[in-house]
Amino acid sequence: MSALRDAGLDPIEVPAIAIEFEPPRGDLDAAAGLLHTYRWVVITSANGARAILKAAERILTELGAPSWASIGPATRRVLEDEGIEVALQPSQSSGIALAVELPVVAGDRILVVRGDLADEELAVALRARGAEVDDVIGYRTREAPERSRALLRAAATDGAIAAAVFTSGSTVRGLVSLGRAESIDVLSMPAVCIGPETADSILLYAAEKPIFVIDAYTKRILSRHGVLPYEKSYDDFHQLFMKRLPANASLYNQYHALFVNIGKDFCRKRPLCASCPLNGWRGVPPLCSD
């Protein structure tokens, strides 16, 4: 928001998603209690930083033992505001850039804190370099929070909106849902987005174009069932569907929704394979266990 203002623009904040931090006594608290055992703590977002700081405060653990790395200036600011020295911020704000630039040797223990919708690409890349990685969810994303309906309504009646800025696929889906609830045509606004998933989400959910969206859930489910290795590119997964399914936006929307439901309810970081409806799909069990 501050960067947009610095550029002379007049941003209006309408949260299309809500953040829910992980509750006490879970995996995040357990990792916070072991901070002193990690060579690096890697934080992928500002909300991830807030999540691990809350956990550390709950269990009264020291923050200074490991080295800290963060993706993006906003994440860095949250950590530095709490007196944490950030030893590495990658040259580009991406998980792959951090995985390449982080100085690690085989056997280093690394904690990665991320959101539930972020993919496992960073952890996979660090493990490929020989690190021992604990990949922990710090927060979960909920789309179209009820309290944002009034904010969208006020923004729409306050004057013409030059563009809508989206930071993720979930913000696209959230704003579209809010617009439908308020009978506001958000689809007519020019869109600015970050990353291919966000762009494809705009095309599918907002423009209703037949473009398949690949997210972390889709990659996790397909890789665990041996369809494609997880480290394959976004385009590799994208073409898997675009070349095999008829060009139908409604079909793609339904497919993606099913992947999200399976990912949230069954194909979690700690999967529930025995009860998953895809257990045994393609004649083989998934490449994971309960």
- Residue 164 pairs in a beta bridge with 191
Which whole-number Å values give the CA distances from 219 to 38, 215, 236, in the listed order? 28, 6, 10
Cβ contact 106:202 at 8 Å: no
What is d(CA 73, CA 85) in angstroms, rounded to the nearest whole number?
A: 13
**Structure-token pair, residue 217:** 């859930």
Q: What is the pTM of this model?
A: 0.68
What is d(CA 105, CA 32) in angstroms, rounded to the nearest whole number?
A: 22
Helix axes 249-265, 216-224, angle to 10 degrees: 70
Label the pairing between strands 67-70 and 40-43.
parallel
Q: So where are the chain's domains?
A: 2-16+144-206, 18-142, 216-283
User: pLDDT (tens digit, 0 to 9) for every residue of the chain, 290 residues total?
Assistant: 777 788 888 888 999 999 999 999 999 999 999 999 999 999 999 999 999 999 999 998 888 889 999 998 999 999 999 999 999 999 988 888 899 999 999 999 999 999 988 878 899 899 999 999 999 999 999 999 999 999 999 998 888 888 888 888 888 889 989 999 999 988 788 888 888 888 898 888 777 889 999 988 899 899 988 899 988 889 999 999 999 999 999 999 898 889 988 988 888 877 888 888 888 886 656 666 44
Return the SS3 of 70.
Answer: strand
Which one is the CATH code of 18-142: 3.40.50.10090, 2.40.50.140, 1.10.540.10, 3.40.710.10? 3.40.50.10090
**What one-character DSSP code corresponds to residue 281?**
G
